[in-house]
Amino acid sequence: MAYFDAASAAPLHPVGRQALLAALDDGWADPARLYREGRRARLLLDAAREAAAEAVECRPDELVFTPSGTRAVHAGIEGALAGRRRVGRHLIVSAVEHSSVLHAAEVHEALGGSVTEVGVGRTGAVTPDAFAGSLRPDTALACLQSANHEVGTVQPVAEVAEACRAAGVPLLVDAAQSLGWGPVAGDWSLLTASAHKWGGPSGVGLLVVRKGVRFAPRGPLDERESGRAAGFENIPAVVAAAASLRAVRAEAAEEAARLRELTERIRTRVPALVPDVEVTGDPERRLPGIVTFSCLYVDGETVLHELDGAGFSVSSGSSCTSSTLTPSHVLRAMGVLSEGNVRVSLPPGTPAEDVERFLAVLPGVVAGVREKLGAPVPAGGVRGAERGVEESGASAVDAPAVDTPAGGTPAGASTAGDALVVDALGRRCPVPVIELARVIGDVPVGGTVRVLADDEAARLDIPAWCEMRGQEYVGEEPADRGSAYVVRRVS
């Protein structure tokens, strides 16, 4: 099985495993006690803190260990906002932050604070000018991830930190995805990270608060971890986290070059092998191991199941794979195609042979799913291509074919005035886009198609389809149920 989901959780590094097992024997006692076992545990904890601080490039007394990266984010945002409550209650976040940041922003807003969400371009990056333009006299805190967890785009942290510093506003950086590759550049004020992202054990987060930053921990205070992370420290896990961070950093330069070559191979060859694919994220300013692409006329859930059956563990930002049935907020903010989304995130040590096997299997998987859905033959592709994997049953989304009677309106469509109306109500992604693609050729150039849909993904995927197909997206109109998405045929 090829594990290609390191952005969610990287496999435990061998050095981390060894450190964890050793610390289970020596680090079980209370590090606050003065007897021998306690002193031994304290030495392990202090050494782990110094090693982590060296990797972050901060002082050891600025860094605390938390029970998770999410808890580090929440504690950091809550403490920084509380520490600067006299300045104001304005919080700035980017539109593509990790959900832990956005959830904290929602709570802050529900409690009476104000939040500005800075948008991103199609590569997923903010512009420093846009971020700086959101700063106000009452801004208490700004948050910006170092690199995106879904598409790999690296954010201009140093430039944003400079603007924040000039305005006297602290910047919190979520460095969960990037810290294993190197320290975060720039004059940031707070930093968070999560050990299981770099090959440490789960259940360990980092929170760094620079000296001089106003910070007031929320909740009942605890004497441990400077009062910023309550509860008994999980010393074996902390020791393993620090050991694995040091180990991956020692390998980072060589491994980053190797993984960049492998992900570039995926970025360039997937569009050549699979018709109608949009590769997302910045092509240059990106993390070494992450590449994301979306395939027209495919539902992400079925693709993931098929790839899993073929021996590949990948993830997706498609709404079809989400319990909320809404597209990834990252893809939505970028304005890119969400249907058939596949995120490949390679862990260190990934063999090149696994990538080549993935590239050999993927075209057949996508072609097979499209055929099951009854999708139009993609541009430059042949439906029914050899799949490379064994069929595994019907798709989770069934889309009956739309036949066009001679001289008539396509079955499943109707006319309203001069527009052709396609009723895709109650149909999940990617059916609304498939049905639009089937009928667009049945209206004259300059004519319009109104697609009725109540799937949230249609709001993103129909405009994205128009962008890819060179048709004009007129806009969204209210409807008795769901929305009407109007497309004008240009060619």
Better-predicted residue by pLDDT, 190 or 381: 190
Share of the chain above pLDDT 70, in %: 90
- Mean pLDDT computed over 55-80: 96
The predicted structure's pLDDT at residue 221: 73
- How is 60-94 classified by DSSP, letter by letter? GGGEEEES-HHHHHHHHHHHHHHHTTTT--EEEEE
- How is 254-304 classified by DSSP, letter by letter? HHHHHHHHHHHHHHHHHHHHSSSEEEES-SSSB-SSEEEEEETT--HHHHH
- Mean pLDDT computed over 7-25: 96
CA distances in angstroms from 12 to 19, 182, 189, 351, listed in the order given? 11, 18, 29, 17
Give the tens place of pLDDT for each residue, 445-474. Answer: 999 999 999 988 899 999 999 999 999 999
- Mean pLDDT computed over 356-382: 85
Nearest C-alpha neighbor of 55 from the set 205, 245, 208, 199? 245
- Mean pLDDT computed over 158-169: 98
Q: Is pLDDT above 60 for 386?
A: no
Better-predicted residue by pLDDT, 231 or 205: 205
The predicted structure's pLDDT at residue 326: 76
Q: Is pLDDT above 70 for 319?
A: no
The predicted structure's pLDDT at residue 394: 34
Among 3-12, 113-122, 293-302, 304-313, the minimum mean pLDDT is found in: 293-302
How confident is the prediction for the chain on average, in pLDDT?
Answer: 90
Nearest C-alpha neighbor of 186 from the set 219, 153, 154? 154
- Mean pLDDT computed over 379-394: 38
CA geometry: angle at 95 spanning 90 and 97, to 5°? 90
- Mean pLDDT computed over 274-280: 95
Q: Identify the bridge partners of residue 449 per DSSP, sorted by sequence position.
A: 420, 487
- Mean pLDDT computed over 188-201: 98
The predicted structure's pLDDT at residue 232: 83
- Mean pLDDT computed over 253-264: 97
The predicted structure's pLDDT at residue 301: 85
At residue 218 the predicted structure's pLDDT band, cuts being 50, 70 and 90, is: confident
The predicted structure's pLDDT at residue 491: 87
The predicted structure's pLDDT at residue 401: 38
Share of the chain above pLDDT 90, in %: 79
Give the distance from CA 351 to its chain's centroid.
24
SS3 label, residue 299: coil
Catalytic positions: 320
Q: Is pLDDT above 80 for 220?
A: no
Among 101-105, 109-113, 133-137, 426-430, the minimum mean pLDDT is found in: 426-430
- Mean pLDDT computed over 198-209: 97
The predicted structure's pLDDT at residue 325: 60
Only one residue has tokens 């807003």, namely 109
Better-predicted residue by pLDDT, 485 or 400: 485
Give the tens place of pLDDT for each residue, 321-364. Answer: 555 567 889 999 999 998 899 999 999 999 999 999 999 999 99
The predicted structure's pLDDT at residue 408: 45
Give the distance from CA 306 to its chain's centroid.
22
The predicted structure's pLDDT at residue 397: 38
**Do 80 and 214 meet the contact criterion of CB atoms below 8 Å apart?**
yes
Kindly report the backbone phi and psi dihedral angles of residue 41, in degrees, each rounded to the nearest multiple of 5, phi listed first: -65, -40
At residue 406 the predicted structure's pLDDT band, cuts being 50, 70 and 90, is: very low
- For the purposes of burial, counting CB atoms within 10 Å of the CB of 11, is it exposed (0-12), middle (13-18) or buried (19 or more)? middle
Q: Is pLDDT above 50 for 181?
A: yes
Tokens of 131: 């971020």
A 10 A CB-CB count for 166 gives 11
**Do 447 and 420 meet the contact criterion of CB atoms below 8 Å apart?**
yes
Give the distance from CA 222 to its chain's centroid.
33
Question: What CA–CA distance (Å, rounded) separates 112 from 83?
Answer: 16
